[in-house]
Amino acid sequence: MTDLLLAIPPGMILIVGAFLAALLPGKLRAIAGIALPILGFAHLYGLPDDYTWTFQLFDTTIELVRVDRLAFIFGTIFHLAAFLSALYAYHVDDRVQQIAGLSYAGAAIGAVCAGDLITLFVYWELTALTSVFLIWAGRTEKSYKVGLRYLIIQVTSGVLLLAGALSLYSDVGTIHFGHIGIETFGGQLILLSFGIKAAFPLLHNWVQDAYPEATVTGTVWLSAFTTQLAIYSLCRGYAGTEILIPIGAIMTAFPVFYAVIENDLRRVLAYSLNNQLGFMVVAVGIGTDLAINGAAAHAFAHILYKGLLFMSMGAVLYRTGTAKGSELGGLYKTMPFTTFFCMVGAASISAFPLMSGFVTKSMILTAAADEHHTVAFLVLLFASAGVLDHSGIKIPFFAFFAHDSGRRPKEAPWHMLAAMAIAAAFCFGMGVWYEPLYALLPYPDVEYTPYNLTHVVTQVQLLMFSTLAFIVLWQTGLYPPELRSTVLDTDWIYRRAIPRVVGVAQKGMTYAFNAANAQFEQVFNLGVFWLAKKHRPPGVLGEPWPTGDTALFAVIILAATLVMYYT
């Protein structure tokens, strides 16, 4: 039995099980979807410490499985996220979404347990191919177009990963997935590949474009795996790469401004996701043991509280048909449990003491301070205040309290509430009893105490002043109102710039074609006029020919025809 378990790569239980479960009828299929992540985690937990599974392919060692501490913590949270997502989607009777969600999670788990770049590439592309069906499941023309853009970007990331792996193999003679760095061209290509999935600045808009267009449950699946797989990959391959510090700092700051003016609350959460990823990227760039612990811990907590927020907004969308702040408000009256769970997620992402975000985000801030990255530290403080504004306050306030929209929807279904309750319990439980989480971290010997006077007082002051700023702006009417609008980000390129360039090019080509056509018509008319002139008297062909000349001409043509026919 043990040999059989060792022969199953992590994640494969979800991938294969998803297709087998598709053969079952409705509710049994949903129950199987909930059970598969439990079985998958039991399998992962049963593997030996630092387990590897390798085989030789020609002159290359393929490390199909590598489960060390870094892979285990990400594998653990991915299984938990898959379980919560499947439970949340219990009501969905759609084989496409169920197969896509479970196999997507399985591919992400397989990727974090991959020990070489080729195996990583296979799972990397599989996450793209499976996740796009969660967008296409909307079955609208818009979701189809968005899904195509999403797929192109994700496949491009995979192509860059493969090209980088081959280049790296040419340079160093190995495809082992360890520390890569940016000293080689292959390493730079791979960093760009990871950067696309991690939503680096200017490469990020696929998140805001795709996630809100997925189905109610599809967005919950999407929020957990793709970007966090990129964070894992950065931790593995680029720890201590200092260029990531300014990149991550920018990631934490710029989404704040977009999220404040965005009306679609699921898009607000997508910008908030960018913001939180930035903290992890900064930690990877710092690269110390404490910083990598902080990145892994924050990724663990982030998947849960961001999933909780997406679940609460998904429940609102499911019951009301909209997630736009301008059309919501007053929902706390009939959706009290969803309101409460949303507030728990908001408190966690804002890093309130006693919540999970506090015991993970403070680790990254401490690592930045210890290494004297003063500018990055200050930017992270600003970003922490910003996330309280757009996710800690704006999301629950505009969805449930800001004004009475007159909507009185039913409370979310029981299975949605159950998934939200479990996620909320983890958010609070990890904030109070953080030792089990710290024990899972890649460097368990690093000592860190989140609840000391400096951390608590600094964070409480930050939260208090941020809340005061929101109240003042709201009461004075200076806070940006929720308007029915489309906020353009880097999507300006394909929404505005490219159509304008194409329009100008079409006009130029039309003008050139018309001008050329006019010239051709003029030359053609002159030619016709010349021929007509020659055929009219006194033209060469216009006068009658003598009979002898005509007969001679006919004989010559007949002779030429006979010669050609008989030769």
* Residues 512-530: tens digit of each pLDDT: 778 788 888 788 777 767 6
Q: What is the 3-state secondary structure (H, E, C) of 359-425?
A: HHHHHHHHHHHHCCCHHHHHHHHHHHHHHHHHHHHHHHHHHHHCCCCCCCCCCCCHHHHHHHHHHHH
Candidate from 141-150, 283-292, 397-406, 541-550 with smallest mean pLDDT: 541-550
DSSP 8-state assignment for residue 332: G
**Residues in Cβ contact with 535 at an 8 Å cutoff, skipping those fewer than 6 apart:** 541, 542
Confidence of residue 511 (pLDDT cuts 50, 70, 90): confident
Candidate from 52-66, 82-96, 267-281, 319-333 with smallest mean pLDDT: 52-66
CA trace torsion 559, 563, 564, 567 (10° rounding) = 170
DSSP 8-state assignment for residue 322: -
Confidence of residue 489 (pLDDT cuts 50, 70, 90): low
Say if residue 400's pLDDT is above 70. yes
Mean pLDDT for the stretch of residues 401-410: 86
CB 129 within 8 A of CB 121: no
Neighbouring-strand partners of residue 53 = 65
- Which helix (H) or strand (E) covers residue 248, if one does? helix 244-261
Task: For 519-552, give the DSSP string.
Answer: HHHHHHHHHHHHHHHHHSTTSTTTSPPPHHHHHH
Q: What is the predicted pLDDT for the residue at 430?
A: 96
CB 263 within 8 A of CB 382: no
Say if residue 319's pLDDT is above 90. yes
Candidate from 90-94, 472-476, 527-531 with smallest mean pLDDT: 527-531
Sign of CA dihedral 294, 436, 15, 62: positive
Q: To the nearest whole number, what is the mean pLDDT of the chain?
A: 88
The length of the chain in residues reads: 567
Confidence of residue 262 (pLDDT cuts 50, 70, 90): confident
Q: What is the predicted pLDDT for the residue at 1?
A: 47
Structure-token pair, residue 372:
């004297």
DSSP 8-state assignment for residue 116: B
Q: How far apart are CA 343 and CA 347, in angstroms?
A: 6
Half-sphere exposure of 187 (CA within 13 A, CB side): 18
Full-model pTM: 0.87
% of the chain surpassing 90 pLDDT? 62
Give the residue extent of every domain in the chain. Answer: 1-236, 239-483, 495-566
Q: How far apart are CA 292 and CA 68, in angstroms?
A: 14
Biggest alpha carbon distance in the chain?
Answer: 123
Nearest to 284 by CA among 442, 492, 521: 442
Confidence of residue 18 (pLDDT cuts 50, 70, 90): very high
